[in-house]
Structure 1
């Protein structure tokens, strides 16, 4: 999970991609304001009520791509911009290889946090547990305890290093005495035990906070009255990506997020996906799964097969809430990564339960001792990516960016992970590589990448149309297949409703005596 933004320490509020507008402004593009100035420096972008980011920008390198519309008639400007931008993304979707990198910003409309918000949510889950006392004792050593959340990744890194140094008893530094006092915790061994307990509870709490459900939509709700969204942004993105010509390269999605929102959207849409696991009852990581493909069986007389269209590849670069890492591999699972099918508790349920039982053991059942998430958000995650199976996924990411006719769309990623940034920057040596950064308030990394681009192959989309919701629903070109899927879902609901009405009428005719 992309947990930290160096230049965005103030927590953002969830934005509504469909704010309540008046009159003709029902068009979602109506409130967008565009920066048309001929400039080589991106302007500052601010969020104003009712949650609209303005101005909206599209830079190609250090060139303001929208400045070409400055001389258009004011009434035609917005229409021309919309048509040209949709055409631009339609062209990119038709490239041979489409790659997507998704960060924490894409999950924000569901999780409600980016960066600093994670620590506050995690800390609340520890209330009433012994690990909370350890955490309070440690925070007493911070000059600004209230700002620790803004640097949660560094905080976890220091805790991990502290424990490692405290329990070190091997050469060459085998005589170090690390005796940092903690209130209420006496003795070196007890301190090590408490640090380990705290780190495990933090890992458990991160898992619970990231265990979120995709909002209901017309694809999931049994009745039109009960869904929150007509179609969720995740469903829109997956539907548009899976509708590409199957004869082109398979779309590959890379994400740093632990949540399963992408998988939930693919399941709702009936999209087949390769996530690196094989097996059914006991699923285990097997990178060879990415090398497989799906085809319709060909007729015997034809002697050929046809590629199945709705297939995507999913790479979870830092692991997932349903992955478990064990220190010991087996002959059947040499990587020590398994898929855990057990249901996880919900954050709201644990918080509700705490009001009755502060020492609720539900959090303890999230991870067993010796287990863990694949890669925790610490400074050591770069080293962990060098070990299998993550080294395989990062090699696949690098290779995917070096293939001919490739476009990478970066959504909700702030550029905080240097090991990922390096692979993206190295890909610029590929002459047929295009990089498109989508972010409502582009980070310093995105701005630097654009400024350094002298070839015009780095684009940056900022402002309200850079939010994941608006981008997935309105900027990526709409596809006929999406309308068809929605029509099918509506047909099935209507048929079910009709069948239920017939049963109810028969019961009424029979006098309601069903005995």
Structure 2
């Protein structure tokens, strides 16, 4: 929510993941964050190649014809597929699988009675670099390039080891735009892939590296370093009132001059 909440004049947060589990989906659901992806439908959503800018808007009370962006919305792309994507009749569909299900077999069989694990749209193997050039992965990587390779864009990587060359190429192309920036957050770099990537790109001024088990720990990162979500208007209002009354300024001056 710290990244997703922003003013309506800024682009939506776009989340990309190489994992085919659904931990981000369940986390967004628990946080009340709406995700927009390429799937259309409710009962059996189907993957669409159309890049229409579908979004969520609302009409403010008393104001007609001026829809505004709904808060708490993010775009979402799973670059290597998902456990609940299957191929059926030359289309990609998302099937209803409970989070934490012990087996996918009953849900795959109930879809059309003939599907098997081979129809699952995930590619965690050594030839994924070549297979991501095929449908539907080519569409997903176009989204990655379109979201990152443009002026003033910022990419934050968390836990990514820079071991996928097809993703590294997109990031390298992004860094050729001088106003872009990459923030790398990771526990460590045991294989020196991150160091090698930074050195080979030659764009060190556009890269911020946050390395270590303290910054790499998600709870520590959220509790101590990420800002509070902008949606929390009550806290923002309270801070403004305290600042107007001089409370915040007085406390900061006391902390900065402990001897006085």
Q: TM-score, normalised by structure 2?
A: 0.77
Q: Distance in 2 between matches of 1:303 and 1:448?
A: 52
Q: Distance in 2 between matches of 1:454 and 1:478?
A: 30
Task: Name the counterpart of 1:266.
Answer: 28
SS of residue paired to 2:66: coil
**Greater helix content:** 1
Task: Name the counterpart of 1:458.
Answer: 207
Q: Distance in 1 between matches of 2:99 and 2:67?
A: 41
Q: State whether structure 2 residue 39 is matched by structure 1 residue 284.
A: no
Task: Name the counterpart of 1:125.
Answer: none
What is the Cα deviation at residue 413 of structure 1?
0.9
Q: Distance in 2 between matches of 1:295 and 1:281?
A: 23
Q: Indicate how the Cα distance of structure 1 residues 345 and 467 shifts in structure 2: closer, same or farther if over 3 A, else same.
A: closer
Q: Indicate how the Cα distance of structure 1 residues 325 and 444 shifts in structure 2: closer, same or farther if over 3 A, else same.
A: farther
What is the Cα deviation at residue 343 of structure 1?
3.3
**Greater strand content:** 2
Q: Indicate how the Cα distance of structure 1 residues 271 and 289 shifts in structure 2: closer, same or farther if over 3 A, else same.
A: farther
- 1:277–1:287 Cα contact (<8 Å) kept: no
What is the Cα deviation at residue 301 of structure 1?
5.8
What is the Cα deviation at residue 430 of structure 1?
0.9
- 1:322–1:340 Cα contact (<8 Å) kept: yes
Task: Name the counterpart of 2:135.
Answer: 388
Q: State whether structure 2 residue 123 is matched by structure 1 residue 376.
A: yes
Q: Distance in 1 between matches of 2:204 and 2:100?
A: 49
What is the Cα deviation at residue 283 of structure 1?
0.9
- 2:59–2:68 Cα contact (<8 Å) kept: yes
Q: Distance in 1 between matches of 2:73 and 2:138?
A: 24
- Pick one of 99, 106, 122 that aligns with 1:365: 106
Task: Name the counterpart of 2:67.
Answer: 305
- Pick one of 225, 230, 234 that aligns with 1:475: 225
- Give the aligned CA root-mean-square deviation in angstroms: 2.5
SS of residue paired to 1:320: strand
Q: Indicate how the Cα distance of structure 1 residues 484 and 345 shifts in structure 2: closer, same or farther if over 3 A, else same.
A: same
Structure (1 or 2) with the larger CA radius of gyration: 1
What is the Cα deviation at residue 346 of structure 1?
4.1
Task: Name the counterpart of 1:440.
Answer: 187
- Pick one of 96, 99, 102 that aligns with 1:341: 96
What is the Cα deviation at residue 371 of structure 1?
4.3
The size of the alignment, in residue pairs, is 226
SS of residue paired to 2:15: strand
Q: Distance in 2 between matches of 1:389 and 1:473?
A: 37
Q: Distance in 1 between matches of 2:81 and 2:98?
A: 17
SS of residue paired to 2:183: strand
SS of residue paired to 1:365: helix
What is the Cα deviation at residue 284 of structure 1?
0.8
What is the Cα deviation at residue 461 of structure 1?
0.5
Cα displacement string for residues 469-493 of structure 1 (whole angstroms, at most 9, x for unaligned residues):
32233222234645969xxxxxxxx
Cα displacement string for residues 33-53 of structure 1 (whole angstroms, at most 9, x for unaligned residues):
xxxxxxxxxxxxxxxxxxxxx
Q: Distance in 2 between matches of 1:363 and 1:322?
A: 8
Stretches of structure 1 that go unaligned for 5 or more consecutive residues are 1-238, 330-335, 348-361, 486-515
What is the Cα deviation at residue 402 of structure 1?
1.4
Q: Indicate how the Cα distance of structure 1 residues 276 and 457 shifts in structure 2: closer, same or farther if over 3 A, else same.
A: same
Higher relative contact order (CA 8 A, sep 6+): 1
What is the Cα deviation at residue 300 of structure 1?
7.8
Cα displacement string for residues 172-217 of structure 1 (whole angstroms, at most 9, x for unaligned residues):
xxxxxxxxxxxxxxxxxxxxxxxxxxxxxxxxxxxxxxxxxxxxxx
